[in-house]
Structure 1
Amino acid sequence: MSVSNTTAFTDPSTFILLGIPGLEAAHIWIFILFCTMYVIAIFGNFTILFIVKTEPSLNGPMYYFLCMLTVTDLVLSTSILPKTLSIFWFNSREIDFSACLTQMYFIHCFSVVESGIFMAMAFDRYVAICHPLRYSIILTNAVVDKIGLAVVLRDGILVMPHPFLARRWPYCRTNIILHSYCEQMAVVKLACADTLNSSYYGLFVIFSVIGLDVFFITVSYIQILRAIFSLPTKDARLKTFTTCGSHLCIILAFYIPGLFSFLMYRFGHNVPRHFHVLMANVYLLVPPMLNPIVYGVRTKQIRDRLLRFFAHKGT
């Protein structure tokens, strides 16, 4: 099917993904960049899972939450990268209508799940620093399991209406999506129906879920910083702050591009389309790549276990 075909139709069986409109000549270079990021993300996240599983000293709430984040990153990156890379390398632009809606659901569901896990990790750091003597009492394995289950159920249920609404809409203009994956706003623009309810519901999810997560993360770190600055020595303050440094870096790498992409879609009407799409990809690809690198470098227990593993392999 020609990507220039915009003949009127109803209920398409497939959509056409254009990749990054305006940067078609650079698709091969973008493929190399994205493929490298994906390989790093896959290798790094599986390495984190392997280290936590094989090192008994890492069997604690902090590392259980890290494993949840790692699995979320693997699902999130795998939801978009294989199809995106096939567009850039094989010019395989068609995607089944149901597959498109499934991809849209997984992207938005696990993006929100990642936010919930960050909130759980902030709570873990708050208890560890502000209530260290009660840490093992408050964050038992059962509590960690319940928090993880609650985050997945909360976000899985709240995001569910998006694909159901999208499936009910008529599509009578074109089936061409000006994006490299089935991003919700890009799909919504193709519908020949009143999509305000979907837009309002999307805003509700963002502000009530992600907004609430950010609020609790902020409150947790305010309390953490207060506890850190009340420590008697500079060395103690620096050591305690270092334990939270990796988490703060990951939070910023996730929320800042996400906020930027959200604002551009709604208010950046004069921003070039290719910049929109690039930022939407950065928002979903950079955190899964950075998370294992930052935690591997900044977390002493993981770094030491990794060095011991390679030292053993070298002997």
Structure 2
Amino acid sequence: MTLVSFFSFLSKPLIMLLSNSSWRLSQPSFFLVGIPGLEESQHWIAVPLGILYLLALVGNVTILFIIWMDPSLHQPMYLFLSMLAAIDLVLASSTAPKALAVLLVRAHESGYTVCLIQMFFIHAFSSMESGVLVAMALDRYVAICHPLHHSMILHPGVIGRIGMVVLVRGLLLLIPFPILLGKLIFCQATIIGHAYCEHMAVVKLACSETTVNRAYGLTVALLVIGLDVLAIGVSYAHILQAVLKVPGSEAQLKAFSTCGSHICVILVLYVPGIFSFLTHRFGHHVPRHVHVLLATLYLLMPPVLNPLVYGVKTQQICQRVLTVFTQKD
């Protein structure tokens, strides 16, 4: 299934729901400002964003291709990595094309249905990415703490079920977002000070009561990030305890090195996200364009850096990539 058909498959029921005239009598269009305060130089900002998007596409497609073509990489760690790469492709493609259209050709208008679908994909696949990181932490825990039973515990059937749980969780938690938004009444000023449609930015435009929307959005954020960070922390606490029992510093270093890529990916996802969240909530003196740039980079940087981290720090991936690009005809 191609990326386009995958988008269409997931979007179809959402489009039918959002297009239901009995559900929404009035569907306003939204005006995406882009980068507030930097309107005159937005086309220059689009250049590095376009480069980041291109790097994300090339890197994640390369990871998927290498894992797909090499049967020796059909192991839990690499299967989870392929899930991460697929999610990163969708996440980057949900954000960058519209943002680039706004910044480059001033395509500021976004229809109601299109805006809510983009918002749904961004938040749902961000949740899925966090879920895959939990699954990868579980894989590292089993590999280090139960190495003899690794293939028995995480066999392909279990990996498939974990992937399905991650997918379903992301969809079920985020489906209420557009449903709750559909019950709001919007004011005349439907201007979003952003380069893409984001949940709270849309909620703030409503004239009606938004307490339920705000409470549910905060609950989902705390539930996903809180539970996922807790699960990852518990996994690494057990890993640390097991590694410290291994005699010899060289053996301990080797055990820790197997977790290096995953730890880097965790930092790439959560640190900018937490920084952006704190800046948005408490950084009232931070300029608006800094908020928007941080939020945009938060969605683009993980898809760009994840393939680089695993390509550099994972010997098997690095060797396969070098083989593909250096082999002679």
TM-score bucket of the superposed structures, by smaller chain: over 0.9
Q: Deviations over 1:119-173 (max 9, x none)?
A: 0000000000111011111101000000110111112101111111112211114
Answer yes or no: is the 8 Å Cα contact 2:28–2:186 preserved in 1.
no
What is the RMSD computed on CA atoms of the aligned residues?
1.3
Q: Deviations over 1:3-51 (max 9, x none)?
A: xxxxxxx945311100010112321221110000000000000000000
- Structure 1 stretch displaced more, 91-100 or 162-171: 162-171
Of the three residues 117, 140, 145, the one matched with 2:160 is 145
- Structure 1 stretch displaced more, 113-122 or 253-262: 253-262
The alpha-carbon deviation at position 241 of structure 1 amounts to 1.2
Matched, 1:80 2:85: no
Map 1:11-90; keep pairs closer than 5 Å: 11-90=26-105
Moved over 4 A (4+): none
Cα distance in 2 for partners of 1:297, 1:157 equals 35
Answer yes or no: is the 8 Å Cα contact 1:126–1:220 preserved in 2.
yes
Residue identity in the other structure for 1:31: A
Q: Deviations over 1:90-142 (max 9, x none)?
A: 01101111000000000000001100000000000000011101111110100
Match of 1:3 in 2: none
Instruction: Determine helix, strand or coil for the equivalent of 1:45.
Output: helix
Residue identity in the other structure for 1:227: A
Match of 1:4 in 2: none
- Structure 1 stretch displaced more, 12-21 or 114-123: 12-21
Residue identity in the other structure for 2:181: A
Cα distance in 1 for partners of 2:178, 2:203 equals 10
Matched, 1:233 2:248: yes
Matched, 1:224 2:239: yes
Q: Deviations over 1:278-300 (max 9, x none)?
A: 11111100000000001000001
Instruction: Determine helix, strand or coil for the equivalent of 2:209.
Output: coil
Instruction: Determine helix, strand or coil for the equivalent of 2:150.
Output: helix
Of the three residues 242, 249, 263, the one matched with 2:264 is 249
Map 1:94-105; keep pairs closer than 5 Å: 94-105=109-120
Instruction: Determine helix, strand or coil for the equivalent of 1:194.
Output: coil
Answer yes or no: is the 8 Å Cα contact 2:135–2:162 preserved in 1.
yes
Aligned length: 305
The alpha-carbon deviation at position 264 of structure 1 amounts to 2.5
Answer yes or no: is the 8 Å Cα contact 1:12–1:175 preserved in 2.
no
Matched, 1:113 2:135: no
Instruction: Determine helix, strand or coil for the equivalent of 1:211.
Output: helix
Instruction: Determine helix, strand or coil for the equivalent of 1:201.
Output: helix
The alpha-carbon deviation at position 86 of structure 1 amounts to 0.7
Residue identity in the other structure for 1:162: F
Map 1:263-282; keep pairs closer than 5 Å: 263-282=278-297
- Specify every segment of 5 or more residues in structure 1 that has no aligned partner in the other structure, as ranges: 1-9
Answer yes or no: is the 8 Å Cα contact 1:69–1:117 preserved in 2.
yes
Match of 1:5 in 2: none
- Specify every segment of 5 or more residues in structure 2 that has no aligned partner in the other structure, as ranges: 1-24
> Structure with the greater relative contact order (CA < 8 A, sep ≥ 6): 1 or 2?
1
Of the three residues 163, 176, 181, the one matched with 1:161 is 176
Match of 2:204 in 1: 189
Cα distance in 2 for partners of 1:307, 1:188 equals 47
The alpha-carbon deviation at position 230 of structure 1 amounts to 2.1
Match of 1:7 in 2: none
Match of 2:308 in 1: 293
Residue identity in the other structure for 2:184: W
- Structure 1 stretch displaced more, 177-186 or 25-34: 25-34
Residue identity in the other structure for 2:54: V
The alpha-carbon deviation at position 229 of structure 1 amounts to 2.2
The alpha-carbon deviation at position 204 of structure 1 amounts to 1.3
Of the three residues 224, 240, 246, the one matched with 1:209 is 224
Give the alignment's TM-score, normalised by structure 2.
0.90
